[in-house]
Structure 1
Amino acid sequence: MNRNFQFIGKNYFLFLIFFSSTLLNYSCSKKEEIVLPPIQVNAVKAIQTEVPIYEEFVAQVYGESDVDIRSRVEGWITSLNFREGSFVKKGTLLYVIDDIQYQTNVDREQSQLASAKTEMVRAQNELARVRPLAEMNALSKQDLDNAEASYKASVARVEAAEASLSNTKIELGYTRVYAPFDGVIGISNFRVGDYVTRAGTSSVLATISSIGAVRVRFQISEREYLRLTRFTQEELERTRKNVKIILADSTLYEETGEINLADREIDPKTGTLTVEARFPNPKGILRPGLFVKARILITTLPNAILVPQRAVIQQQHLSQVYLINESGEIKATPVETGPRTDDAWVILSGVKQGDMVAILGTTGLTPETKIEVIEQTWPEKSQNP
């Protein structure tokens, strides 16, 4: 019994070994038969074109005129006659300040002027009476001199009263505050019932800005300034008249600006020079205080080689692209990059016009990798406007 059991066990063990070996051989033969499909790789052709090179600077928008409207008299605000944030025309009545005391001053000065004029008429009549008598020696020369002095003094008092009356009328006029020019008025710092003074920050009622055109200010570094000084007159004029701005939503403002001034000095605290450009603003899109990017045309590269930025792989100081030859083989190639323009790199060396450059999906690829090239359309839009 034991002998039979041992025989069966031995045969069963041999069967397991044979079965396992058969499965292993079958599995290996299956693996040898598996052929992986080629990896799809998107690619574009490097292009050669004229490329304008721009520099971008953080900038801020100012109105063509930004004026603080200040109170020139003291008193209580009795009327607010505009809608905050709206467009107002030159001469529009904006504020009315309580004018009772100023009207009282005018009335008092008018009374004093009338009194002075009356005194002047009396002195004039007295002089007219004394002069012929003095000529006949009926009155002394002293009497004539006194009469003439009295008349001249009365004339001076009239002139002083007139000046004082004019001043009080001017102050009365200051109780009505008008828009100095066409523009957009901001939020009022005072409401009806508030007391305003003529001095300090409390005298600023509101600010009005003229925005038919705007000023855009930005700072350039000393290095950039020195580079501009080496431009020819033609290059400077082209740069001066080709200023663009990029808005906060990354869109390009449709109007082109022109540099109209640069500060007289380099700021010693920041090492920068303030530059100002003027932009038309016919639709009123640009408002004072808006932060934008100023884009200035620096130079133009006549025959630049371009590839998409996403095709360039950068690792520390090394830049490379994956080139695909006519046989469909892919190879990592070091390149020297120049400036960026829109969604492209300018390639100074390593790529020539028409070379097929792989984009995306290049991780882990080797020259032995089977690939299927899917050529993409690029560029989708023209380079810098």
Structure 2
Amino acid sequence: MKFYATTLSAKKKVWLFLLASVFAGCKEKAAVTLPPIKVNVVKAVVEDVPLYEDFVAQTYGLSDVEIRARVEGWVTSVNFKEGSAVKKGDLLYVVDDVQYKTRVDREASELARSKTELVRSQNELGRVKPLTELNALSKKDLDNATASFEAAQAQVSASEASLSNAKIEYGYTRVYAPFDGIIGISNVRVGDYVSRAGSTSVLATISSVGSVRVRFQISEREYLRIAKMSKEELAAARKNVQLILADGSPYPHKGEVNFANREIDPKTGTLTIEAVFPNPDALLRPGLFVKARVLLSTSPQAILVPQRAVLQLQNLSQVFVVTDSSALKTRIVEVGQKVDDAYIITKGLKAGDKVAVVGTMSLTPNSKIEEVEMKWREDTPKK
């Protein structure tokens, strides 16, 4: 029995030792304190912010003209490089002109015959008229001579008109560029037959791109909002249209609104607006899809914070505000329009408030942080 008591006492000692070790470990863990987390911090800034509206738009040449055939015949010459710049008066196409040249010659001969007949009838009238005055010939002879002379005059006029028309059609066998521009892909090649009507009449399209037109549509709601703007605001908006290209870069030249369509399209409920932009480097080509950015108003003394600093939670927006003790506190805010990489805060912040840009970090209110001042709008040149 003594041996059994001794063994039990040893087991108790082991358990007591293990329990003491566990409590000692827990005590050591509780004593560990984490260092403050480094967090980017910015100050809410105040600016007069121009408010732009973006619209999907498309570019057109200042003039986009289809070059059409005005005579029928076989194409004998194409005298330009597709997609190249052409000058006003450059020869583009030649259509087989044999039949038109033949017609010019025929009408010229007819005119010569008519003039000969006019001379003969004029001489006849000159002979008959004095004889009639002497009663050597009757009044009927004078009337016949006069009628022949007038008919010969009319025939000469008709022949001149026919010759002029033949020359015009003969001139149409040469197709020239109507203005300076860029010509597109040719729809015909040498040996193709062209006509005045139908699909074969369109030879190519030429666009004037020294300036370009940009068209975009605004909704009825946007139209009504713009219509209620003051004359000063409308004038500023009209002359301050910007373009954002497909790669996201801004076009360096500003445009001006040219006109608004007379009606709201009943099919789409939109109003078409057209603006004109200078295009000195021919960067813009017809058919480009761009964004038209229009200055509609300015928000005075707007409070701005980075978009990354605003956390969206269902219908609520909140930010982490840094307190004087370098701790975080959540604050519900009301968010307005986006401006570049920022939000306008309409309620919940004031100028100078420090806001944490937490991104995807898992932070909680009252977390201790180490502030890392982040460069933002105050250090960025204003556009």
TM-score over 0.5 (shorter chain): yes
Q: Secondary structure at the match of 2:324?
A: coil
Alignment counterpart, residue 164 of structure 1, candidates 162, 165, 171: 162
The code of the aligned residue for 1:348 comes to T
Deviations 1:195-232 (A, max 9, x none): 11111232111111111111111111111111122222
Question: Which residue does 1:317 correspond to in 2?
Answer: 315
- Structure 1 runs not aligned, ≥5 long: none
- Equivalent in the alignment of 1:232: 230
| Structure-2 residue corresponding to 1:57 | 55
The size of the alignment, in residue pairs, is 382
What does residue range 1-385 of structure 1 map to in structure 2 within 5 Å?
A: 13-14=11-12, 16-361=14-359, 363-379=361-377, 381-383=380-382, 385=383
Q: Which amino acid aligns with 1:211?
A: V
Match of 1:206, SS?
strand
> CA–CA distance in 2 between the matches of 1:207 and 1:87?
12
Contact preservation (8 Å) 1:322, 1:362: no
Listed one character per residue, the Cα deviations across residues 248-279 of structure 1 (whole Å, up to 9, x for unaligned) are: 11111111111121111111111111111111
8 Å Cα contact 1:225-1:273 kept in structure 2: yes
Structure-2 separation of matches of 1:39 and 1:226: 50
CA distance in 2 between partners of 1:105 and 1:345 (Å) = 75
Label 1:262 to 1:337 Cα distance change in 2 as closer, same or farther (>3 A).
Answer: same
SS at match of 1:305: strand
**Given residue 99 of structure 1, which amino acid in structure 2 is its aligned partner?**
D
Contact kept in structure 2, 1:45 and 1:354, CA below 8 Å: yes
Q: What is the identity, as a one-letter code, of the residue corresponding to 1:170?
A: I
Is the contact between residue 193 and residue 200 of structure 2 (CA under 8 Å) also seen in structure 1?
A: no
> Contact 2:310–2:318 (CA<8 Å) still a contact in 1?
yes
Counterpart contact for 2:260–2:273, Cα < 8 Å: yes
Q: Deviations over 1:161-194 (max 9, x none)?
A: 1111111110010010000011111111111111
Deviation for aligned residue 1:130: 1.4
2:329–2:366 contact (8 Å) kept in structure 1: no
* Separation (CA, whole Å) in 2 of partners of 1:128 and 1:267: 72
Decide whether the 8 Å contact of 2:61 with 2:211 is kept in 1. Answer: yes
Please say which of residues 213-222 and 21-30 is displaced more in the overlay.
21-30
* RMSD of Structure 2 on Structure 1 (CA): 1.9
TM-score by length of 2: 0.95
Which is further off, 359-368 or 79-88? 359-368
Residue identity opposite 2:380 in structure 1: K
Q: 1:352: Cα distance to partner?
A: 0.5
Percentage identity across aligned positions? Answer: 61
Instruction: Between 142-151 and 15-24, report the one with greater CA deviation.
Output: 15-24
Q: CA deviation at 1:7?
A: 8.0
* Secondary structure at 2:50 match in 1: strand
Could you tell me how far apart the structure 2 residues matched to 1:301 and 1:213 are? 32
Question: Structure 1 residues 362 and 330, CA, compared in 2 at 3 Å: closer, same or farther?
Answer: farther
SS at match of 2:351: coil
Alpha-carbon offset, residue 361 of structure 1? 4.2
Q: TM-score, normalised by structure 1?
A: 0.94
> How far apart are the structure 2 equivalents of 1:136 and 1:11?
177
The SS at the match of 1:335 is strand
1:17 counterpart letter in structure 2: W
SS at match of 2:179: coil
Distance, in Å, in 1 between the alignment partners of 2:38 and 2:286 is 51
